[in-house]
Amino acid sequence: MTAPRPLGRLVNLSHVHDPVTTPLYPDDPEFRTDIVATIADDGYLLRYIQQGEHTGTHWGAPIHFRADGLAADELDLDDLLLPAVKIDLRHRCAGDRDYAITVEDLERWEAEHGRIPDGAAVIAWTGWDAKWGAPEFIGTGGSAGRQPGFAVPTVEWLLGSGRLGRRGALGIDTFGPDVGTDETYAVSKLLYGEHRISLECLANLAALPATGAWVLVGGPLYRGGSGGPATIFGILPG
């Protein structure tokens, strides 16, 4: 099953990058902006932006967890333009920060919407996009670092069934596709080992339909990059 090429209205699926409100993954480098030039003093405004490659809304390339994986500048442009499906799991994640998305969740979605297109960006809407900028996004006390994500058998099913195709992606509104309690990053390693990418800290997922849209990953392609901060566009059907 091959989806048609996109043509339609754009929606922004990225948070605004702001060092005051952007949550940082534990031990990631500081996000800061320094004024280099001002209109009053220099006739133009220029800032020096310092942030990690995986700060804010961003995407991950295979080399992020695979030394032999492709870097950001080595991927094809077609790897960054994908048909998208949105799996609304807010009701399951609301009371369970450790929720692992199951094959059954995806099968229920397919029973309602049809088969996930081959080579899709499978995007999980956990409700974390609404927590952006608040302590609940990272969690506090005993919940710190805990977030929902995909179960390993679910990703194996997506890969083995062809639903992630020859190229595809996992997307999510949390820090990444792994359940926060998995310190081995098993899902990320499995995904990147099969030449796929991840879309992370997505925003505005209410604007993305369950099916029929595409996603386009925009932003700088760093040479040797493990991904990078991104403006990710949803392209809605006309």
HEC string of 29-92? CCCEEEEEECHHHHCCCEEEEECCCCCCCEEECHHHCCCCCCCHHHCCHHHHEEEEEEEECHHH
CA max distance for the chain = 62
pLDDT of residue 3: 62
Query: What confidence score (pLDDT) does residue 237 get?
Result: 87
Q: Which of 151, 203, 155, 201 is closest to 176 using CA atoms?
A: 201
Question: What is the spatial distance between Cα 116 and Cα 121, in angstroms, rounded to a whole number?
Answer: 9
Reported confidence tier of residue 4, pLDDT bands at 50, 70, 90 = low
List residues bridging with 87 in a β-sheet: 124
Summarize pLDDT for 55-96 with one digit per residue, the tens.
999 999 999 999 999 999 999 999 999 999 999 999 999 999
Q: What is the pLDDT of residue 235?
A: 95
Q: What global pTM score does this model have?
A: 0.94
Q: Given this model, what pLDDT does residue 203 score?
A: 98
pLDDT for 112-142, tens place per residue? 999 999 999 999 999 999 999 999 999 988 8
- The pLDDT confidence band at residue 217, using thresholds 50, 70 and 90, is very high
Per-residue pLDDT, 6:
53
**Percentage of residues in the chain with pLDDT exceeding 70?**
97
Where does the pLDDT of residue 2 fall: very low under 50, low under 70, confident under 90, or very high at 90 and above?
Answer: low
Residue 238: what pLDDT? 77
Over 80: is that where the pLDDT of 5 sits? no
DSSP-assigned beta bridge partners for residue 220: none
